[in-house]
Structure 1
Amino acid sequence: MTNEITYSTSGDLKINELLDLFEHSGYFPFKDKNDTERLREMFDNANLVVSAWHRGKIIGISRALTDFCYCCYLSDLAVRDDYKGSGIGKKLVELTKEKAGERCKLILHSNADAEGFYQKIGMKKINSAYAIQRDF
């Protein structure tokens, strides 16, 4: 199956495809799953998106913001539940880092359920991050 998976940096993603992916990945970037306008804005304004496809169906996504020379913030990473464990998430992270450039540091804010995955693929946990939380 893994040889049938293709990866793309084309930003031409349809909202219904993204909603279906997030619905079947156990991850949604914010509380209101009906706010399709916000979801569209998130992807329109991201400058580095890598998607994974199997037989014409989106099965994984990496959405990042970067300056391509110093820092790349990996904001969202999702893989369909039925494809987890097959290396797709790791490949999406690798391709994101590759596209951002070797001089870029890749950073992210992980949810607790995904910490083991990020450690497994070689990312190091740091304790020097701060955030101003949003309400929604």
Structure 2
Amino acid sequence: MREPTIMKIDYKINHPVSADQFIELLNASTLGQRRPVDDYDCIAGMLANSNLIVSAWHGSQLVGIARSVTDFHYACYLSDLAVSAEHQRSGIGRQLQAVTQQQLGPKCKLILIAAPAANTYYEKLGYSHNPRCWVMDQPCGLEDG
């Protein structure tokens, strides 16, 4: 009987990720359906303005990412958690979250908005559901005078 192949995955903190690599990963995961993968400038801006990115690499291939915006003490918004479909169900998503949490202060909350299909995944990891999330797709204009 042949032994299963164990993949060596390297986890890196704030390691450079190009917009092309990020787009490729988003498209290889289910998250590409809900992100502006056709807007290169937006994707590049998402990466450039994140202050905590934990990435998972199989050799030189980006196979997972946890992209966050945080103050490191009170709140960390986990904006994107993506693992390529080929590498899902291997613990990469859990490890990306664990490494993210290791970078945060002891009282810092990890906050995210889950895709409907992922609700049971986050519940199993110990997240609690909070119905008080509000989203504004376009900023409100300020009225003159």
The more displaced of 96-105 and 37-46 is 96-105
Amino acid at match of 1:64: S
Written as runs of structure 1 = structure 2, the 5 A alignment for 1:1-136 is 1-2=6-7, 4-28=8-32, 30=34, 32-134=36-138
Whole-Å Cα distance in 2 between the matches of residues 129 and 58 of structure 1? 30
Q: Percent identity?
A: 34
Q: Normalization by structure 2: what TM-score?
A: 0.85
**Considering only aligned residues, what root-mean-square deviation do their CA atoms show, in Å?**
1.7
Which one has a bigger Cα radius of gyration?
Answer: 2
Q: Answer 1 or 2: higher relative contact order, Cα 8 Å, separation at least 6.
A: 1
Q: How many residues align?
A: 134
Runs of 4+ in 1 over 3 A off after TM superposition: 29-32
- Structure 2 contact 26–84 (Cα < 8 Å) conserved: yes
Whole-Å Cα distance in 2 between the matches of residues 130 and 31 of structure 1? 18
The more displaced of 16-25 and 45-54 is 16-25
Q: Normalization by structure 1: what TM-score?
A: 0.90
Q: Name structure 2 gaps, 5 residues minimum.
A: 1-5, 140-145
